[in-house]
Structure 1
Amino acid sequence: MEEALSRCMARIRDAAAAGTPLRIRGGGSKDFHGEPPRGELLDTRGLAGVRSYEPSELVVTVGAGTPLAQLESLLAEQGQCLAFEPPHFGGGATVGGMVAAGLSGPARASVGAVRDFVLGLSIVNGQGELLSFGGQVMKNVAGYDVSRLMAGALGTLGLIVEVSLKVLPRPPAEATLKFELPQAEALRRLNAWGGRPLPLNASCWVDEGGVPTLYLRLRGAHAAVEAACRELGGERQDEAQAAVDWLRCRDHQLPWFEAHAGRDLWRLSVPQTAPVLDLPEAPLVEWHGGQRWVAAEPSEGERLRRVAQAAGGQATLFRASTASEATPRFHPLAPPLDRIHRDLKQAFDPAGILNPGRLYPGF
């Protein structure tokens, strides 16, 4: 890994001197996310390997090029996991890409996002300098938490080299309940349940062939899960099949996603308390109402952004059809946030060579 790191640092220094854009890429499983990548390829897969793992301390430090599946397998051997369930979207997903994309799976609303589990990391900035931030414990940050800033930056601020992550034990018990409910009632119940001491972990509401259905996953101590099942009712699902279906939900392989392949897929991030939104068609709803997936035609993008903003959220063009390739992927920034983004880009990558334009056109 040290040799690969030296090559990457030299490559970035040369690119900065020449003003040559670099496209940072691990397994390429999330190339679709954000603005189209451009520049000469800088492959991170040589930055692989587990640097340290202390199961008793609930922390693991790995190279950014480490396959995500390899890390998850290592944790599973110790009965531990990445609680935020990072999506893979393909077999080549890497740990660095997981952090850079900043995407979380079905459990995000209950356990937190990727950034909440990043304890520290090392990056190479746009001048070829190796910088380290954070550490391997929770209470180690004074001032600006740069390590978590890298989550979701899509490599525009630096090449992630190494990451220290908080891991958690796998819950001892799990159950998935099924309810046939219209969207408004499902949202109402989710909001009510969220205010009670229930082991809620994930939820997914979807219209299955005209049958509106809410799936609710419970995780925690055996007694808590069983008591919640008795209290909430619903139809308990087969555990093995439910586990497969939640993985398919995580990686957008459910029938709902497959039925809308080829259309624009929008991600609306709104408050969990937001009501049923005025959308072109019924969405797939996750995160107890906080994340709503919408399939739409290219002409409906601006309307979706207005609807999301009116609800107190924002809309992202998550997967663009060919007809929408020119549509900005991310919700436009307010002027103060735009200025902060540009200032950060200037500070970390003054030559503007690292994944240029991946977040927003122009930086």
Structure 2
Amino acid sequence: MAEELVVEEVGTDTRAHVRPGSVAEAAGVLKSSVRAGQALRFAGAGTSADWGARTTRTDLVVDTTGLDRLLRHEIEDWTVTVQSGMPLTRLQELLAPAGQWLPYDPPAASAGATLGGLLATADAGPRRLAFGTLSDLVIGATFVLADGTVARSGGQVIKNVAGYDLAKLFAGSLGAFGLVAELTLRLHPLPTSTATLVLAVDDAGQALAAGRAVMRSPLEPAAVEWDGERLLIRFHGTADGTDARLRLAAGLPELAAAHVLGDGDEEAAWERQARSIRGSEGDTVVRATAHPAQLPELDTALRNFVDRAGVEATLISSVAIGVHTVRLRGGDAEGHAACLAAWRDAVHARGGTVTLRRRREGVEPQAGAWGPAPATTPILHALKRQFDPDGRCAPGRFAPWF
């Protein structure tokens, strides 16, 4: 698809919007942007547009949805090469007839998230426990840097950029280093059977204890998630394998009261989990990482902050790996900002990290998008200078860090 250039008005601003259909077209767009001195924003489905701080300036939106082709599917090698603008759900549909899939289930998938956007956000879902993040499944990638240079890492290397593993570097970069254009991904056999156990538990300490019991056992779950009311434990593989795991789980004292969800209820439960993590209009959503053992402390701290701020909160936790999402609802922007700042401080005090994923209007000016700058900030500055020396890619997204 040839690139399409349109001009759109956003409030009082006028910005160009271009939709390249190939790596060459994308490179041409970015080369032209250097001459024009344009500030760039890369956009796919828009599911992570609010992550981090708001960009301070956008002259040109580079829309990746024209980069939506499957380039190569090497069935016998269990790899696929795909353009970055393809939605993850579409890729799974294309892989399924071969009995293959990408074992990756970020919350934004059902909202149409694209593969490039998912790498740029480093988003991950419950199955991260068993399969890791998207960057763990990338074996080769193509990027377009701010000056239009095409760089590849892994597989067939056209330009090796100072030895960096570019997929790892761009993961979580929120578009600040350049454009993700193509990905070569490692595939897995598509499970023929899945099963989810549910344990009613509204206490964070008890949820953590049950999760630990599962992880110490030979069950090998694909996911262990707590939503504040229920612990969800997912298994998949062959029908015999999932049946065997369910029988083994029934023998664990911590899971004695658990029950198995029916086929329809299982997918509905996981989609409900994803929707809660994504949040909706008027919510504030933050994602944190911390040691799994700190879940009870962080849950208690959140409840205290919520009571004082006059807002409602849902805490969803990947209890086995220490990834926690807080969704704030109700109240006003001042309450959201106060709760965000206080809970973020609590996480940082325990050595964790926090990313703002969605905010109620008015929250960011009061609480900021990011907490204290990490010790790696000088390295981030150096990388930004190397990959985007003029600071044109997603300016302000990591403010005030860089």
CA drift of 1:90 comes to: 6.1
Q: What CA distance in whole angstroms lies between the structure 2 residues aligned with 1:6 and 1:262? A: 40
2:40/2:392 contact within 8 Å kept: yes
Q: What CA distance in whole angstroms lies between the structure 1 residues aligned with 2:146 and 2:44? A: 18
Q: In the alignment, does 2:39 pair up with 1:17?
A: no
Correspondence for 1:329: 369
Mapping of residues 127-276 of structure 1, within 5 Å: 127-135=147-155, 143-181=163-201, 182-207=203-228, 212-233=229-250, 234-252=258-276, 262-276=282-296
Give the structure, 1 or 2, with the largest relative contact order (CA under 8 Å, sep 6 or more).
Answer: 1
Q: What CA distance in whole angstroms lies between the structure 1 residues aligned with 2:38 and 2:110? A: 29
1:200/1:217 contact within 8 Å kept: yes
Q: What CA distance in whole angstroms lies between the structure 2 residues aligned with 1:216 and 1:80? A: 23
Deviations 1:212-238 (A, max 9, x none): 321211123434422321232311110
Q: What CA distance in whole angstroms lies between the structure 2 residues aligned with 1:147 and 1:79? A: 26
CA drift of 1:91 comes to: 4.4
1:106/1:249 contact within 8 Å kept: no
Deviations 1:131-190 (A, max 9, x none): 111128xxx999531222112111211111111111211223321111122221110121
Q: What CA distance in whole angstroms lies between the structure 2 residues aligned with 1:141 and 1:171? A: 37
Q: What CA distance in whole angstroms lies between the structure 1 residues aligned with 2:161 and 2:208? A: 37
SS at match of 1:268: strand
CA drift of 1:247 comes to: 2.9
Instruction: Flag structure 2 segments of 5+ consecutive residues without an equivalent.
Output: 3-20, 251-257, 304-313, 329-335
**Cα 1:6–1:206 shift into 2, 3 Å:** closer
Please report the TM-score for the alignment, with normalisation by the length of structure 1.
0.88
1:123/1:132 contact within 8 Å kept: yes
Q: What CA distance in whole angstroms lies between the structure 1 residues aligned with 2:70 and 2:185? A: 12
Correspondence for 2:355: 316
Q: In the alignment, does 2:67 pair up with 1:35?
A: no
Q: What CA distance in whole angstroms lies between the structure 1 residues aligned with 2:371 and 2:155? A: 32
2:45/2:113 contact within 8 Å kept: yes
Letter of the 2:224 counterpart: S
**1:55 maps to which of 75, 81, 86:** 75
Q: What CA distance in whole angstroms lies between the structure 2 residues aligned with 1:286 and 1:225? A: 21
Correspondence for 2:14: none
CA drift of 1:113 comes to: 0.9
**What is the alpha-carbon root mean square deviation over aligned residues?**
2.7
Letter of the 2:267 counterpart: A
**1:286 maps to which of 311, 318, 323:** 318
Letter of the 1:358 counterpart: R
CA drift of 1:192 comes to: 2.6
Q: What CA distance in whole angstroms lies between the structure 1 residues aligned with 2:83 and 2:283? A: 36
SS at match of 2:320: helix
Correspondence for 1:343: 382
Letter of the 2:215 counterpart: G
Please report the TM-score for the alignment, with normalisation by the length of structure 2.
0.80
May I ask how many residue pairs the two structures share in their alignment?
352
Q: Once the two structures are aligned, what percentage of the paired residues are identical?
A: 30
**Cα 1:124–1:143 shift into 2, 3 Å:** closer
Q: What CA distance in whole angstroms lies between the structure 2 residues aligned with 1:324 and 1:250? A: 23
1:204/1:215 contact within 8 Å kept: yes
Deviations 1:83-126 (A, max 9, x none): 12133366442221121111011111221011101111111111
Letter of the 2:220 counterpart: P
Q: What CA distance in whole angstroms lies between the structure 2 residues aligned with 1:272 and 1:334? A: 21
CA drift of 1:19 comes to: 2.5
**Cα 1:23–1:142 shift into 2, 3 Å:** closer
CA drift of 1:48 comes to: 2.3
Per mean C-alpha deviation after superposition, the further-off stretch among 289-298 and 350-359 is 289-298
Q: What CA distance in whole angstroms lies between the structure 2 residues aligned with 1:72 and 1:359? A: 32
Correspondence for 1:353: 392
Q: What CA distance in whole angstroms lies between the structure 2 residues aligned with 1:220 and 1:92? A: 26
Per mean C-alpha deviation after superposition, the further-off stretch among 217-226 and 237-246 is 217-226
1:27/1:92 contact within 8 Å kept: yes
Correspondence for 2:8: none
Q: What CA distance in whole angstroms lies between the structure 2 residues aligned with 1:6 and 1:226? A: 50
SS at match of 1:357: coil
1:199/1:225 contact within 8 Å kept: no
Q: What CA distance in whole angstroms lies between the structure 2 residues aligned with 1:142 and 1:155? A: 20
Correspondence for 1:7: 25
Per mean C-alpha deviation after superposition, the further-off stretch among 47-56 and 31-40 is 31-40
**Cα 1:91–1:306 shift into 2, 3 Å:** closer
